[in-house]
Amino acid sequence: MKHYGRELQQTADGTYTLFIPEIDEHYHSVNGAITEANHVYIKEALLHRLYKGASLVIKDKEIIKVLEVGFGTGLNAFLTLINAIENNIRIEYVTLELYPLSQDIISKINYGAFVDERYSGLYMKLHESEWDKPVEIDKNFILTKKNIDLKDFISDPVFDVVYFDAFAPDKQPEMWNDEIYKKIVDSMAENGVMTTYCAKGVVRRGFRDAGLTMERIPGPPGKREMIRGSKI
Ligand SMILES: C[S@@+](CC[C@H](N)C(=O)[O-])C[C@H]1O[C@@H](n2cnc3c(N)ncnc32)[C@H](O)[C@@H]1O
């Protein structure tokens, strides 16, 4: 996968994604990259964990820990950073990526151009930060990008929110099996929430058997359903 070419493609909401022809796979939904990320990860995972209705359910000064599987273009990290600033929440964000993208691709995809201009410059800041150490991108957001294989990641149960954003099971089956589901669940704190765009029954049952309470919920445009798991 490392040496595969990646093509820039525009999606239905005007934002771009990457396509890998060799495995016929996109990094995001062609029905809207930012729209999908905002729905699957921000609304249904991060904000679901932070709020009950209009009330914030986290303690004063609590630091929310987010784990992402697959940093890729950094879109989920970028939207999480913007939400941390706007909600004045402190987030420690750990993201795993085995195949980091080149700066050339990142500057072409430039999600900074699609958000409020107060935040535009932060997109490149995420990408220019060093790997494998915590970096303060903003006082509300500490980023650790780990250049490792998910298979080698081991964590204590500390994460409040997990974005499981691997390539699809038929394209990268080694990211979707019982060992991986257990690894994810073991990394989650009590009341932790995990979402993924993939709604397959076998995935839902896999996370359920690993210990999460699973829900099927409406997906982003073009996708009827997605799944969310909670560690109750
Ligand atoms: C669907 S894309 C993620 C999209 C990303 N969240 C974004 O917003 O651009 C899946 C990502 O998982 C990464 N990946 C693939 N195999 C991996 C592995 N074994 N460990 C960690 N990351 C991996 C890919 O390189 C790719 O960046």
Q: Please answer whether residues 164 and 40 qualify as being in contact, where contact means their C-beta atoms are separated by less than 8 angstroms.
A: no
pTM of the full structure? 0.98
Does 3 reside within a domain? no
Question: What are the tens digits of pLDDT across the range 133-155?
Answer: 999 999 999 999 999 999 999 99
> What CATH number does the domain containing 199 carry?
3.40.50.150
Pocket-forming residues, ligand 1, beta carbon under 6 Å: 27, 70, 72-73, 75-76, 96-99, 149-150, 165-167
Of 161, 72, 141, 73, the residue nearest 111 (C-alpha): 73
Q: Is the pLDDT of residue 213 over 90?
A: yes
Q: Please answer whether residues 84 and 161 qualify as being in contact, where contact means their C-beta atoms are separated by less than 8 angstroms.
A: no
Tell me the residue range of the domain where 92 lies: 33-230
C-alpha 154/C-alpha 110 separation (Å) is: 32
C-alpha 169/C-alpha 178 separation (Å) is: 13
What one-character DSSP code corresponds to residue 70? -
Q: Whose CA is nearest to atom 17 of ligand 1?
A: 98
Residue 1 — very low, low, confident or very high, per pLDDT cuts 50/70/90?
A: confident
Q: Point out the ligand 1 atom lying closest to the alpha carbon of residue 17.
A: 9
Question: What are the tens digits of pLDDT across the range 57-70?
Answer: 998 889 999 999 99
Which of 27, 38, 180, 226 to probe ligand 1 with, by most ligand atoms within 8 A of CB? 27
Does 177 reside within a domain? yes
Does 4 reside within a domain? no
3-class DSSP state of 181? helix
Tell me, what's the pLDDT at 2?
A: 81
Find where tokens 């058997």 sit: 209
Number of domains in the chain: 1
